[in-house]
């Protein structure tokens, strides 16, 4: 897969454009906003759109009623809209029950949410599993509110319907699977998690053009209830999942962060860390903890899947998280492209890693007479010679190319390129034939 050498600037720009298109849509864990989003994704990659009825039991949970919203506002006694859903969908407490009522300021204030520390930002709040209604506004807006009679309208519905999600399965040579999961339940918020949605679409688009060793399953689900629903309906597929990643917060300008799987030393953990080390960029790793996104469900003890999460700024650390400041300006196409590059490199290792046997194990084979020095000529001769010697030495059936690249402190790609030369010269063969 030569793509790894590209800089993915073009794809970064395309992902950014896709995010711009998805940004205004009012999404939630169910409802037409999710469907509209899935329809747009389906025009780019051939996802199946699944609809799971309200009331379906999914382990200890139940698929909730479907939420849809047409309009919402607060009017003062002069009839002026002082908070208006049509300006930004973040103004409504997501999953608010319908209301049409006049009330005084004291009553209204019990249903208002602000961020005093960032008085220009609107918070993102939800009330999925508790019936409530409310509005989110800037603290500056809030401070201006005077004693008055306010007319509060939320034109929403909570009715029997469906939970919608998207799934794409790309079949590889073997049935072992890589799970790539992202969530699409957030309304007008960019880094968390339209960046994850956009990047996942483009990973799928690139993989669709390749001959794959592994099979890949892409999920576009509402967070928590979506992964619980998927797991409860697909228990038969769980044994096939060998590696997994939850894609979130990949568009901001921060350094990469990798949240390890529950196991902590699964192959995916080693692969991602190798990609980050090889990149030469600053990064950090954090150990698994049972908060965060859908890795919580994939990593519950009944499944304990090797699923990590590769992001840029860690979600709980950046102040814009879950606020109106997580907007288009907060992201950059360059960083989206860079995140895509890292994901593709992870897949390069998953696809390209193999354990080989040295067919000439008694002393080094004479490389010169086989023309190997000619093949590895050029500036990188020293590195490639080293890579060749590392592979020949460690290919005793116990070390994969990834192991060799880690032990030799060489880039996986260098080791892989050298292995390809040795395969062509019939000096090594795959352990598994």
Binding mask 55-94 for Zn ion (x = CB under 5 A): ----------------------------------------
Cα(194)–Cα(200) distance, rounded to whole angstroms? 10
**Nearer residue to Zn ion within complex by CB, 313 or 395:** 313
Q: Which residue is nearest to Zn ion (CB)?
A: 192
CB 92 within 8 Å of CB 136: yes
Give the 3-state secondary structure of residue 260. Answer: coil
Radius of gyration of the chain from Cα atoms? 25
Tokens of 104: 């005084």
The residue among 27 and 345 lying less far from Zn ion, judged by its C-beta, is 27
Binding piece for Zn ion, criterion CB under 5 A, among 129-137, 168-176, 184-192, 231-239:
184-192
Which residues on adjacent β-strands are paired with residue 256?
283
Contacts of residue 341, Cβ cutoff 8 Å, sequence gap at least 6: 4, 6, 7, 8
> How is 261-291 classified by DSSP, letter by letter?
PSSSSSHHHHHHHHHHHHH---EEEE---S-
Q: Say whether residue 278 binds Zn ion (CB under 5 A).
A: no
Minimum CB distance to Zn ion, residue 307 (Å): 17
**Nearest-angstrom CA–CA distance, 138 and 116:** 8
| CB nearer Zn ion, residue 190 or residue 346 | 190
**Phi/psi at 49 (5° precision):** -100, 120
Cβ proximity to Zn ion: between 193 and 417 the closer is 193
- Shortest gap between Cβ of 246 and Zn ion (angstroms)? 12
- Closer to Zn ion by Cβ: residue 243 or 296: 296
Angle between helices 381-394 and 401-408 (to 10 degrees): 120
How far is it, in rounded angstroms, from Cα 115 to Cα 121? 7
Question: Contacts with Zn ion: how many residues (CB under 5 A)?
Answer: 1
11 binds Zn ion (CB under 5 A): no
Residue 186 or 335 having the CB closest to Zn ion = 186
Query: What does the DSSP 8-state code read for residue 303?
Result: T
**Of the two residues 177 and 320, which places its CB atom closer to Zn ion in the complex?**
320
Report, in Å, the least distance between residue 391 CB and Zn ion: 44
Of 5-13, 185-193, 282-290, 400-408, the segment contacting Zn ion by CB under 5 A is 185-193
Q: Does 192 bind Zn ion (CB under 5 A)?
A: yes
Whether the Cβ atoms of residue 166 and residue 204 lie closer than 8 Å to each other: no
CB of 187 to Zn ion, least distance (A): 11
Place of tokens 């919402």: 72
Find the part of the chain contacting Zn ion (CB under 5 A) among 78-86, 100-108, 190-198, 420-428.
190-198
- The region of 18-26, 188-196, 331-339, 402-410 touching Zn ion under the rule CB under 5 A is 188-196
Q: Does 294 bind Zn ion (CB under 5 A)?
A: no
Task: Tell me the window of 5-13, 101-109, 192-200, 390-398 that interacts with Zn ion (CB under 5 A).
Answer: 192-200
Give the nearest distance from C-beta 385 to Zn ion in angstroms: 49
Q: Quick one: tokens of 67?
A: 């939420």
Structure tokens at 358: 């040295």
Query: In whole angstroms, what is the distance from residue 300 CA to residue 286 CA?
Result: 18
Q: Is 326 in the site for Zn ion (CB under 5 A)?
A: no
- Residue whose CB is less far from Zn ion, 96 or 411: 96
Is 260:286 a contact under the CB 8 Å cutoff? yes
Q: Quote the least distance from Cβ 88 to Zn ion, whole Å.
A: 16
Residues engaged in binding Zn ion (CB under 5 A): 192
């Amino acid at each position: 897969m030569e793509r790894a050498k590209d800089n993915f600037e073009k794809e970064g720009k395309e992902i950014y454009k896709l995010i711009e298109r998805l940004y205004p849509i009012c999404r939630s864990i169910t409802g037409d906003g999710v469907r509209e989003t899935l329809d747009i994704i389906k025009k780019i990659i051939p996802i199946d759109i699944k609809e799971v009825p309200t009331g379906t039991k999914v382990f200890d949970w139940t698929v909730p009623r479907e939420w849809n919203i047409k309009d919402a506002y607060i009017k003062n006694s002069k009839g002026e809209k002082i908070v208006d859903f049509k300006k930004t969908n973040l103004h409504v407490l997501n999953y608010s029950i319908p209301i049409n009522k006049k009330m005084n300021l004291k009553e209204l204030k019990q249903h208002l949410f602000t961020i005093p520390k960032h008085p220009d930002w609107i918070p993102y709040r939800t009330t999925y599993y508790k019936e409530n209604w409310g509005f989110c506004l800037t603290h500056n807006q809030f401070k201006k509110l005077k004693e008055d009679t306010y007319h509060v309208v939320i034109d929403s519905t909570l009715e029997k319907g469906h939970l919608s999600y998207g799934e794409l399965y790309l079949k590889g040579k073997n049935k072992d699977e890589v799970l790539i999961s992202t969530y699409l339940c957030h309304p007008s918020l960019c880094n968390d998690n339209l960046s994850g949605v956009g990047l996942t679409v483009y990973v799928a688009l690139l993989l669709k053009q390749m001959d794959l060793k592994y099979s890949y399953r892409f999920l576009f689900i509402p967070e928590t209830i979506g992964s619980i629903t998927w797991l409860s309906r697909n228990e038969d597929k769980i044994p096939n999942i060998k590696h997994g990643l939850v894609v979130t917060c990949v568009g901001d300008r921060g350094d990469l962060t990798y949240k390890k799987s529950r196991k902590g030393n699964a192959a995916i953990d080693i692969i991602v860390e190798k990609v980050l080390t090889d990149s030469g960029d600053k990064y950090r790793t954090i150990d698994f903890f049972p908060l965060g996104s859908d890795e919580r469900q994939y990593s519950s003890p009944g499944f304990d899947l090797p699923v990590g999460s590769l992001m840029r700024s860690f979600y709980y650390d950046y102040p814009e998280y879950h606020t109106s400041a997580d907007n288009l300006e907060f992201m950059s196409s360059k960083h989206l492209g860079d995140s895509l590059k890292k994901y593709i490199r992870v897949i390069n290792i998953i696809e390209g890693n193999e354990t080989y046997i040295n067919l000439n194990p008694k002393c080094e084979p004479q490389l010169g007479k086989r023309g190997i020095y000619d093949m590895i000529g050029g500036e990188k001769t020293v590195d490639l010679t080293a890579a060749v010697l590392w592979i020949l030495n460690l290919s005793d059936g116990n070390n994969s190319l990834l192991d060799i690249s880690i032990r030799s402190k060489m880039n996986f790609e260098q080791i892989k390129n050298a292995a390809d030369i040795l395969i062509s010269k019939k000096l090594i063969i795959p352990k598994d034939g």
